[in-house]
Amino acid sequence: MLSLSRLPVYTNYQDHIGLSYSHLRNGEVSAGNLCPACNGGSSKERTLSVGRTGDRLWWRCWRASCTCKGTLQDNAVIAFTPRSENRKRLHYQARSLTKDEETFLATKVSNDLLPRVRYTDQYGGRYCFPMISRTGRIEGYVLRTYDKDTKPKVLNDEYDRCSWHGDLASPSKVVIVEDIPSAAKIGEAYDFVGVALLGTTCTSEKLSDILDARAKYYIVCLDEDATNTAVALTVKLSKFAKCMVVPLTKDIKDFSKEELDSFLKKIRERYD
């Protein structure tokens, strides 16, 4: 059964704070931030403090002329993980696929994605899937091995947003998935855009990236073993946009053409 929540999009600074600092854990305080109400004044002072106590966010701007302070009850808390500042950048050289590599990968990914994939002989030999911004720019690569004995299976370049696939000019129905091959398969449909979270963690940067697309509808479709995360993310998104979750029993990247057509048809029946 598909579940659908319909709530309005909010634009005031309370909701801006709720969205931007939803990753804070109980007892954590983030200080030295730019206040969305006064914007730091002419000198751009960073005087906003935000903290979490249980399921309550609180904030205060310490500029004398600013009255921005308050609390927000956030019962739909997701464990948003902030981006690590200590993340190491990958160093590798990428090349075009050989004929054998291309033939193998053609059984794994969509026709649109295949020409954009490269290969590196570093890290045990890996296919390089492009991470594409909402503006269509390649921001780095996800290095994926299909050798079951090579660990870890996936390595990511340093990038704190999502990877977007499909017609990005005016996205209407955005399907949020975990990985690039699934997003690219969704993006081949004329009326859908696929967005890869590049994992199951949604940081505040990724959530902002998703909402900044201002799509009409969002559909969260994480893999079978991440259904609980998918439901939690849908609850959070539904505070700001029309959103639903579709539980999966099979990864979208592994759908046959018939399965994908049936899957997209059900979503169209809900939205069109």
13-43 residue pLDDT tens = 776 777 667 667 777 888 888 898 898 888 8
Shared domain for 53 and 129, answered yes or no, is no
Find the CATH number of the domain harbouring 206.
3.40.50
Residue 71's pLDDT is what? 84
- B/e letters for 81-109, b = 16+ CB within 10 Å, e = fewer, are ebeeeeeeebeeeeeebeeebeeebeeeb
Report d(CA 173, CA 189) in Å as an integer.
10
The answer on 34 and 101 residing in a single domain is: no
The total domain count for the chain is 2
Within this chain, do residues 68 and 158 fall inside the same structural domain, yes or no?
Answer: no
44 found inside a domain = yes
Tokens of 256: 């046959």
CB atoms within 10 A of CB 176: 27
Residue 138 lies in a domain: yes
Q: Are residues 222 and 98 in the same domain?
A: yes
Does one domain contain both 200 and 160? Answer: yes
In this prediction, residue 107 carries a pLDDT of 94
Residues 53-68: tens digit of each pLDDT: 877 788 889 888 888 8
State whether 216 and 107 are in the same domain.
yes
State percent of the chain over pLDDT 70.
85
Domain of 52 in residue numbering reads as: 23-73
In terms of Cα–Cα distance, which of 148, 149, 130, 150 is closest to 140? 130
pTM score, whole prediction: 0.68
